[in-house]
């Protein structure tokens, strides 16, 4: 996809040193919903995404850590399948 799109939904995976794990976790949960151990996802506006990336930039060590963001247009652009027990996830409208 070209850069013209406005991405409004992201998946974020991180693989960082133990020392920085918690810091990255704290930043991510401000913007996105916790999905699995080191996976976040959720709706986010392009401007908020820039802010999130800037926040992460300050924390991680670029020579060692790796954070990947998969950007999607919106929630209807993928299909999800569950195997195993599906708990109430963060990010649902009702808690």
Partner 1 sequence: MGEAVRYIMSEGELKRKDNSICFRKGGRNYYIPIEGIKEIYCLNEVSINTKLLDFLASNGIVLHFFNYYGNYSGTFFPREKYISGRITVKQANKYSYERLKVAKAIVKGIAINVVEVLYSYYKNGNHEIKNNIDIIRYEITKALDPLTNIKEVLSIEGAIWTQFYDALRRILNKDFEFLKRVKRPPDNPVNAMISLGNSILYTKTITQIYHTHLNQSISFLHEPSDGRFSLALDLSEVFKPIIVFKTILKLVNKKMIKVDKHFDKALKYCIMNEDGKQIFIKELNQRLEETFKHPKLKRKVSYNTAIKLDALKLVKYVLEDQAFVPFNVKELV
Positions at the binding site: 15
In this structure, what is the dihedral angle of CA atoms 12, 13, 19, 24, given to the nearest 10 degrees? Answer: 10
Give me the residue label for tokens 């401000």: 30
Candidates 12-20, 32-40, 56-64, 77-85: pick the segment binding partner 1 (CB under 8 A): 32-40
Q: Taking CB under 8 A as the rule, does residue 95 contact partner 1?
A: yes
Least Å from the CB of residue 92 to partner 1: 9
Does residue 32 belong to the site contacting partner 1 (CB under 8 A)? yes
- Residues 52/44, Cβ–Cβ less than 8 Å: yes
Report the side by side order of strands in the sheet with 66-72.
33-36, 39-43, 9-15, 66-72
Among 33, 39, 65, 69, binds partner 1 (CB under 8 A): 33
- Binding of residue 53 to partner 1 (CB under 8 A): no
Task: Write down the least CB distance from residue 67 to partner 1, Å.
Answer: 17
């Amino acid at each position: 996809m070209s850069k013209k799109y406005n991405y409004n939904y992201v998946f974020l995976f991180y693989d960082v040193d133990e020392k920085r794990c918690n810091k990255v976790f704290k930043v991510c949960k401000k913007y996105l919903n916790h999905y699995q151990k080191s996976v976040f996802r959720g709706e986010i506006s392009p401007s908020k995404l820039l802010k999130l990336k800037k926040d992460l930039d300050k924390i991680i060590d670029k020579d060692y850590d790796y954070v990947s963001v998969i950007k999607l247009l919106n929630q209807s652009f993928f299909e999800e399948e569950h195997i195993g027990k599906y708990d109430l996830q963060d990010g649902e409208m009702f808690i």
